Amino acid sequence: MTTAKTIGVLTSGGDCAGLNAVIRAVVARAVKGYGWRVFGIHQGTRGLLSRPVDAVQLDLDSAGAAMLRLAGTILGSTNRGDPFAYPLPDGGRQDRSQEVIEGIRLLGLDALIGIGGDGSLAILRRLAQQGGIPLVGIPKTIDNDVGGTESSVGFHTAVMVATEAIDRLQPTAASHDRVMILEVMGRDCGQIALAAGIAGGADVILVPEIPYSIDVVAAHISKLRHGTHNFAIVVVAEGVRNDSGAHVERRQAMGNVTYGGIGHVLGETIAQLTGAETRVTVLGHVQRGGQPTWDDRLIASAFGVQAVDLIAEGRYDRLVAWRNRRVLDVPLLAAFEPAQRMASDDTLLRTARGLDICLGDQTM
Ligand code: F6P
């Protein structure tokens, strides 16, 4: 057994299914495997800014196996409040990074496990370097855009939710001879759209990685409606641009900008170009909630165990990753490399084209 340690774990960025499964695996491995203490930090780095530090000791009762099934994160999370540019009430920004580092010292942590997407992991790495904090990262995001890993926690559940939405839209589309447009999340990454579109049998899939022509999309839908079936299913990622090349976005009350609305833009244009009746569903945050799928639970469990083992081995500044059905670790820097961009030989793109799914970039 290694020397007794106290470690911290936090969730940062947008939540997703499977975060509690990671926390449970961290606690199980650290407590049962090594006899360590684990503190769960509330609200990401925000908990480390509070005095006293907002954290709770986790044990096998509070973080037991029931957590595998539990959506959200028991620790809370935030995708606002970068401690290097912390928002002030007057609209200004303040560097509060030293307070966060001090919070880690106050908790007496020997190491920190950060569960986050690329943005959160970049902030945590900067804090770790500034404060000399031993850090291990665990990738999570429904967007699946963290570099260095094939899968991030939460992606599979989001794809499952989007696929189920297509399953529910298809019969009503067919009953009413309609074109149904489903807008899914993913920021600038089209992986949810592509995977769910194929799994759900979409006729058109539009992703930010592939520029599209609305005329190509309309021609494909018209061909379908005059041929094999009188309806169509279009899946579009929220980060797809409009015909002026701009994102369709919305400024929220707190000043941050979120994508959303390209589905409605497409719905109107497709109706004009094809004469079809269109309806639009924006799936939104339901993709982030709900029980994690078995594979998200599995990856989450493997990641949690691996992260604790890395700390036991004294190996820091690492990212746990999933590749070829194996858990491994890579330099944390790998998280910020472009994630699997859709190369022309991408398996799923080839599959979509092979199934005559229109990707908007060529006449089928
Ligand atoms: O990064 C995860 C994600 O769900 C994106 O797919 C989406 O664009 C964004 O977060 C939404 O952010 P918010 O929760 O702030 O609305």
Q: Mind listing the pLDDT tens digit for each residue in 136-179? A: 999 999 999 999 999 999 999 999 999 999 999 999 999 999 99
DSSP assigned state of 361:
S
| Model confidence at 74: pLDDT above 90 | yes
Give the residue from 281, 15, 283 showing the smallest Cα distance to 161. 283
DSSP calls for 304-359: HHHHHHHHHTT--SEEEEEETTEEEEEEGGGGGS------TT-HHHHHHHHTT-B-
Q: What is the pLDDT of residues 291-330, one digit of tens each?
A: 999 999 999 999 999 999 999 999 999 999 999 999 999 9
Over residues 191-207, the mean pLDDT reads 98
Q: What DSSP element (H or E) covers 282? A: strand 277-282
Give, rounded to a whole angstrom, the gap between the first and last alpha carbons of the chain: 62
Residue pair 187/145 in contact by the 8 Å Cβ criterion: yes
Structure tokens that stand for 238 in this block = 């929220």
CA pair distance 364, 355, nearest whole angstrom: 11
**Quick one: pLDDT band at residue 251, thresholds 50, 70, 90?**
confident
Whether omega before 52 lies within 30 degrees of 0, making that bond cis, reads yes
Contact between residue 114 and residue 12 where contact means Cβ atoms under 8 Å apart: yes
- Per-residue confidence band for 342, with pLDDT thresholds at 50, 70 and 90: confident
d(CA 352, CA 79) in angstroms, rounded, equals 33
Helix axes 97-107, 118-131, angle to 10 degrees: 70
Average pLDDT, the chain: 95
Cβ of 142 below 6 Å from ligand 1: yes
pLDDT exceeds 60 at position 363: no
Q: What is the mean pLDDT of residues 348-361?
A: 97
Give yes or no for a contact between 90 and 57, defined as CB atoms under 8 angstroms apart. no
- Cα of 14 vs centre of ligand 1, distance in Å, is 6
Rounded CA gap, 77 and 52, in Å?
18
Q: Among 16, 78, 120, 142, which residue has the most ligand 1 atoms within 8 Å of its CB, making it the best to mutate?
A: 142
Q: Is the CB of 14 under 6 A from ligand 1?
A: yes
Pocket test for ligand 1, best of 80, 187, 238, 252 (most atoms within 8 A of CB): 187
